[in-house]
Amino acid sequence: MHKPSLETQDDSLLVQGTLDGDPLCFEVLVERYQRRLFGLVRHYTRSAVEVEDIVQDTFLKAFSRLETFQQSSAFYTWLYRIAVNTILDFMKRQGRSPIRAVEDPEAVGAPADETLERKSIRPDARLEQAEISEITRSVMDDLPEIFRTVLVMRELEQMRYQDIADVLQVSIGTVESRLFRARARFKKRLLQLHPEFAASQSNPSNEESTS
Partner 1 sequence: MSTTSPIQCDVVLALVPTFVDDEVTESVGGTVRRHLMDCSACRNAVQEEQTLRQWFVAGPEVDVPTGFAAHVARRAFAGDVGREPVPAAAAPAPEPAAGRVLAFSRALVAVAAGGLVAITLVLAGSGNPEVADLDAGKGLQEALSELEQENQRLEQEREESVSLPVEGR
43 C-beta neighbours (distance < 10 Å), count: 20
CB of 177 to partner 1, least distance (A): 10
Candidates 51, 83, 146, 165; binder of partner 1 (CB under 8 A) is: 51
Residue 39 binds partner 1, judged by CB under 8 A: yes
Site for partner 1 in 140-199 (CB under 8 A): 151, 154-156, 160-161, 176, 179-180, 183, 186-187, 190
Asked whether the beta carbons of 25 and 14 are under 8 A apart, the reply is yes
Nearer to partner 1 among residue 180 and residue 195 (C-beta): 180
Report how far residue 115's alpha carbon sits from residue 191's, in angstroms, rounded to the nearest whole number.
11
Site for partner 1 in 190-209 (CB under 8 A): 190, 201, 203-209
Nearer to partner 1 among residue 93 and residue 126 (C-beta): 93
CB of 73 to partner 1, least distance (A): 21
Report how far residue 148's alpha carbon sits from residue 88's, in angstroms, rounded to the nearest whole number.
11
Nearer to partner 1 among residue 28 and residue 168 (C-beta): 28
The number of residues in the chain equals 211
CB of 133 to partner 1, least distance (A): 4
Candidates 73, 134, 193, 195; binder of partner 1 (CB under 8 A) is: 134
Alpha-helical segments (H) within 95-211: 105-108, 114-118, 129-141, 145-151, 161-168, 172-193
Nearer to partner 1 among residue 18 and residue 144 (C-beta): 18
Residue 113 binds partner 1, judged by CB under 8 A: no
Nearest Cα residue to 66 out of 28, 32, 17: 17
Nearest Cα residue to 94 out of 60, 45, 48: 45
Q: Which residues are registered as beta bridge partners of 199?
A: 120
